[in-house]
Amino acid sequence: MIVLPNDFNFYRMNEWLVYSSTDMVNWKEHPVPLKALDFAWAKGDAWAAQVIERNGKFYWYVCVEHATVPGKAIGVAVSDSPTGPFKDALGHALITNDMTTQTGITWDDIDPTLYIDDNGQAYMYWGNTVCKYVKLKENMTETDGAINVVSLPNFTEAPWIHKQGDWYYLSYAYQFPEKIAYAMSKSIEGPWEYKGILNELAGNCNTNHHSIIEFKGKWYFIYHNGAIQPNGASFRRSICIDRLYYNTDGTLKRVVMTSEGIQQ
């Protein structure tokens, strides 16, 4: 949800929303499950987040502005249901800006994305200008080992991990204004081979944060643009869903962006 003054001039969001669907066409809105200020140590900014299930619990990894450590931070909330309500799982941040020193900016610890590998090991990828990852313990609320850096061409932000067959895919926002590019590897820890552009510029929005999911045997590319709102642009976004397809060698076909989205 975006709550902005009339000039719509910044990424100001106060809470996260949940929608559900059984067919990727018809969607149900649920009550607000989590707000930035539900984290007592945060002072606002409900930025990009992802939910993942483990052992019957749903863990929501979020980006917020830390109240006492300057910069963005990553927190974890937990619930028994994907629709919430969620509560802070730790009482403090999982990642703070002073834990990462690869850049001189205060917003490099954003856009967490999670993946649990086939052997049960959980990973969190995140970052702005530098892509980072760390292993998580089975409790999903503690890091396990050092923070690692992934070298990717023109990485901006918004990493996403998925797997199909023997291939791992690391897609991310590329350059600025953002396209979506991707790399492939036989291991979630790399090395990653850059494969090119997956999704072109949205055209009316500088950012293009995405996710990739499989649902009922079909793959989907979920992203945003500014098409629905009359003023468009980066601070009034519209959610979009289109199909994702693979080539026979495992590489990804470029996403065809449509105004119709998924049809019945």
- pLDDT, tens only, 72-108: 999 999 999 999 999 999 999 999 999 999 999 999 9
In-domain check, residue 91 = yes
What CATH number is given to the structural domain containing 38?
Answer: 2.115.10.20
In-domain check, residue 94 = yes
Other C-beta atoms closer than 10 Å to the C-beta of 205 total 22
Higher pLDDT, 39 or 228: 39
In-domain check, residue 260 = no
- The domain tally of the chain equals 1
Higher pLDDT, 251 or 13: 251
In-domain check, residue 103 = yes
| Alpha-carbon span 233 to 97, nearest angstrom | 28
- pLDDT, tens only, 81-91: 999 999 999 99
Please tell me the predicted confidence (pLDDT) of residue 55. Answer: 97
pTM for the predicted model, two decimal places: 0.93
* Sign of the four-CA dihedral 136, 107, 199, 241: positive
Please tell me the predicted confidence (pLDDT) of residue 222. Answer: 97
In-domain check, residue 57 = yes
Mean pLDDT value across residues 159-169: 99
What's the one-letter identity of residue 196? G
Please tell me the predicted confidence (pLDDT) of residue 60. Answer: 99
Supply φ then ψ for residue 98, to 5 degrees.
-75, -5
Six token digits for residue 41: 């140590």
In-domain check, residue 117 = yes
Point out which residues pair with 214 in neighbouring strands: 219
- pLDDT, tens only, 116-139: 999 999 999 999 999 999 999 999
Domain encompassing residue 56: 15-149
Please tell me the predicted confidence (pLDDT) of residue 3. Answer: 44
Q: Which range has the worst mean pLDDT, 11-15, 90-94, 148-152, 241-245?
A: 11-15
